[in-house]
Amino acid sequence: MKCSSPSLHHRHHHLYFSPPQAIALLIGIIYFRQQLTQEGVTNINGALFLLLTNMTFQNVFGVINVSQEMR
């Protein structure tokens, strides 16, 4: 028996975050609403440094893994 009401159908909606997106979201939540004082600017620079190093090393490990498989 099919139901004609769309509200009774169960639809599963899944959110998928890739690892860089998840880390960016986490760091964004931690550093949300920083004040533009000297300490706040230093904290924002630290967050940008974390994001940059994280993205860089993820790409480096991918290249290393592929080059090891090609040997």
63 pLDDT band, cuts 50/70/90, is confident
Cβ 10 vs Cβ 45: under 8 Å: no
Domain boundaries, given as residue ranges, for the chain:
27-64
Collect all residues with Cβ–Cβ distance below 8 Å to 24 and sequence separation of at least 6: 51
For 49-61, what is each residue's pLDDT tens digit?
Answer: 988 888 788 778 7
How many angstroms separate the CA atoms of 7 and 55, rounded? Answer: 41
* pLDDT value, residue 38: 93
For 7-58, what is each residue's pLDDT tens digit?
Answer: 555 566 677 777 778 877 887 888 788 888 999 889 889 888 988 888 788 7
